[in-house]
Amino acid sequence: MIALDILLIVLLFSLFAFSHTWLASRKFKTALAEKIGNMIAFYRMFYNVSSILFFLAFIAVAPKPDVIIYDLQFPFDIITFALQVLSLIGLIWTFSQFDSKEFLGISQIIRYFNGTYKAETLDEKQELKFGGAFKLSRHPVYLFSILFLGFRPQMSLFYLILFICCVVYFYVGSIYEEKKLVEVFGNEYREYQKRTTRIFPFRLIKN
């Protein structure tokens, strides 16, 4: 029964991950822009909202086995929680380097109504960032998200499977994301890849 629950969790998460990646692909957005033109300005907002709804749907329907992997006791629970808070601070630090309105899709809609939107930018103006958190990792959002999800005083079986799925998805997603970035920025991004690690700020393997 537990094995079936694990399989269902993985399958449901995979459905979410596939839809999330497909809807974010440059190929899909380019094809959509050819059909709806400057209306693609509304896509980023749609993508963000739909991603949240799809993830909440996954959480709602996924089986949750009543199995506790571990439950840390004092003082280890406090230490782990403190590390989780630090990783959350790192995540906030990373997001502070983004244009929040652009990330949420608000700026695109404003440009649309101002008549300054350009369909070739698709759903977002992309710019390379090399400073701050991006000196540690090419994907600091993934780095701090993994740390935040991993440092947990109590770990259930459902949460462990979810954590593993997220780590795999972040790594695989970073590969597809970087293919898009190389297409857009070319050698400038390739040089960045050479001097900065993919996710974790150390090299166990060439990444």
The 3 state secondary structure assigned to 63-127 is CCCCCEEEECCCCHHHHHHHHHHHHHHHHHHHHCCCCHHHHHCHHHHHHHHHCCCCHHHCCCCCC
121-143 pLDDT, tens digit per residue, is: 777 777 888 889 999 999 999 99
Element (H, E) at 53: helix 43-61
What residues does each domain of the chain span? 2-195
19-74 pLDDT, tens digit per residue, is: 998 998 888 888 898 898 889 999 999 999 999 999 999 999 999 999 999 999 99
Q: Tell me, what's the pLDDT at 204?
A: 52
Q: CB-side exposure of 182: number of CA atoms within 13 Å?
A: 10
3-class DSSP state for residue 155? Answer: strand
3-class DSSP state for residue 205? Answer: coil
Residue with tokens 């033109």: 37
